Structure 1
Amino acid sequence: MPVLAGAEPFTHSGSTEVGVLLCHGFTGTPASMRPWGEHLAAEGFTVRCPRLPGHGTTWREMNRTTWTDWYDCVDAGFAALRGECESAFVFGLSMGGTLALRLAQRHGADVSGLVLVNPSVTTLRKDAKLLPVLSKVIPSVKGVAGDVAKPGVTEIAYDRTPVRAAASLSVLWRLVRAELPAVTQPLLLLRSVVDHIVEPVNGRIIMDRVGSANRTEVLLRDSFHVATIDNDAPEIFERSVEFVRSVRQVGAR
């Protein structure tokens, strides 16, 4: 299956001291993470950003995948990174944040820290409760891509939402919510004040329920959902590097 131009996965081999796994969002692609990855690479970090199964091709192919396929992909990427680097951090956007939380729940202290941008663990949309039924009769609905405030910036993502895949995402949300207290790693959560895709309740649930003693929330005031390619991207990049260095410094004491 041909991959959309710009949607390719990417890696950068830098320091063996710090590695970062980047996880993109639902119906999105590594393109939304590439500027972040380039910034991290310039700081000398080793970077991996896989393309999740069913993403970056067609929404129809994505409908043939489930959350376990997406998780297995990032899990393999994390295992490879952990084998290369002393410290392995996981950064995620939207559903990529959900997957990052799942990695933290499953791998414990092997995950050195988490940086989440507009992560999702639920939705207030009433029709979401009907997803298991709708997925059997409706292949797709209008897409959620392109929620960017910055003029002239386009997200490489599907213009349709595959409903069976969305139903599977809701299963992942339930699992991650149930085990949030198991997330004890240092956590930096960056949340857009105006986000037309992920409601503010997601950030509140995560910040209230995780077991992390070191957890910080930062509000992004000039970006919409895909903040990693929006006006606040430089702040995200800089704060994430500061976070990694602060965690490493504390760990060295």
Structure 2
Amino acid sequence: MSTKNIFIKLLLILSLFFAACSDSPEIDNETMLDGDQIFDPSLYNPEQYLVSLSIDNPSSTQKNKSVIIAVHGYSGSTFEWDEFRAFSAINADILISQVLLGGHGRTYEEFKKSTWKDWQKPIMAEYNALREKGYTNISFAGSSTACPLVLNLIKEGSIGDNGMKNIFLIDPIVIPSDKTLTLVGLVGPMLGYFEATNTTIESNYYYRFRPQETLNELLDLIDKVRKDLQKGYKLPTGTQLKVYKSIKDDVADAVSAVLIYKGLKNSDNLPINIEMLHSELHVVTRLNGRDDVTQKDRNIQQQVFEDMLMRLMQ
């Protein structure tokens, strides 16, 4: 029997099997972000998370202070940058906006119908609001999917010359580690959603169920960013970028860092800064809620935080 015929029969079997499955997951509303009772806290108290809302009339000193827009990844929430905020409060005098991606931090159904452009909108909304209030020292920190979202903004010219001082990319995903993700378009409609393994704490801050529609959006985003990087482009004048990439993690292939290094240059055509971390965690800047966190993990996290703050205060 030919390989093609075997593949077709396998698809038929899968189709019949999953046809009997519900495309709506069983959600525990009391314990899961996916439900209708737990929401991201920034939706209730946005002024506690966004600098543009927390300070009505910034002084000239505040306008010149370093302010960083910190953005989480796909299926996550503002929780992802809580540890950086806590570390910075003790070790630096900076302002932090923790931005919630569009469609996130709400119910499963709201997440399901969101697009990657929806995810991106709050980033630009906060950036523009800070600019309008006169802040002059704005930087960006993104983890995982937040990285291709901001890379797309750079490519599209949404962030102009001298508009952003530093960009920090934590485990950017351009090439996924799990190559079966590319099959989402094929089997996704049959499955409806994919289930992640979250700890009890993580279930409050990360979606356990990933709608196939949003995974297709993620694939569309990283495919676009990959093609742009293959063509090559430059950072705006006055912007420095550094990538912190785990040598091995189960979400973002290390090749992602290579593609960014090859495809993105500083405005003077010099290479950008890449630091490979001896870690197997995806987004080591977030350790809270994980199982089996080691002292090595905490040391790497502190090293990254200290390096970021050093660059912000230069």
Q: TM-score interval w.r.t. the shorter chain?
A: 0.7 to 0.9
CA contact (8 A) 1:16 1:46 kept: no
Q: Which amino acid aligns with 1:190?
A: Y
What residue is the counterpart of 2:101 in the other structure? 52
Partner SS for 2:207 = coil
The normalised TM-score by structure 2 is 0.68
CA offset at residue 91 of structure 1? Answer: 0.7
CA contact (8 A) 1:144 1:160 kept: no
Separation of aligned partners in 2, 1:7 and 1:133? 35
CA offset at residue 4 of structure 1? Answer: 3.1
CA offset at residue 158 of structure 1? Answer: 1.3
Partner SS for 2:103 = coil
Alpha carbons of structure 1 residues 191 and 145: separation in structure 2 relative to 1, 3 Å: farther
What residue is the counterpart of 2:69 in the other structure? 21
Matches within 5 A, 1:5-44: 10-12=49-51, 15-17=62-64, 18-41=66-89, 43-44=92-93
Alpha carbons of structure 1 residues 128 and 154: separation in structure 2 relative to 1, 3 Å: closer
Separation of aligned partners in 2, 1:32 and 1:219? 20
- Contiguous gaps of at least 5 residues in structure 2: 1-35, 288-297
Q: Kindly indicate whether residue 274 of structure 2 is the aligned counterpart of residue 217 of structure 1.
A: yes
Q: Match for 1:83 among 132, 157, 162?
A: 132
What residue is the counterpart of 1:179 in the other structure? 228
**Poorly superposed stretches of 4+, deviation over 4 Å:** 5-9, 152-155
What residue is the counterpart of 1:249 in the other structure? none
What residue is the counterpart of 2:291 in the other structure? none
What residue is the counterpart of 1:112 in the other structure? 165
CA contact (8 A) 1:186 1:214 kept: no
- Higher mean C-alpha displacement, 7-16 vs 109-118: 7-16
CA offset at residue 58 of structure 1? Answer: 3.2
Separation of aligned partners in 1, 2:253 and 2:140? 22
CA offset at residue 90 of structure 1? Answer: 1.1
Q: Deviations over 1:130-189 (max 9, x none)?
A: 33344433321122656xxxxx98472112222110101111112222333334231111
Separation of aligned partners in 1, 2:197 and 2:149? 19
The normalised TM-score by structure 1 is 0.83
CA contact (8 A) 1:53 1:69 kept: yes
Alpha carbons of structure 1 residues 173 and 136: separation in structure 2 relative to 1, 3 Å: same
Equivalenced residues, count: 241
Identity of matched residues, %: 20
Partner SS for 1:170 = helix
Q: Match for 2:249 among 195, 214, 221?
A: 195
Partner SS for 2:250 = coil
**Higher strand share goes to which structure?**
1
Separation of aligned partners in 2, 1:145 and 1:196? 14
Give the greater-gyration-radius structure (CA): 2
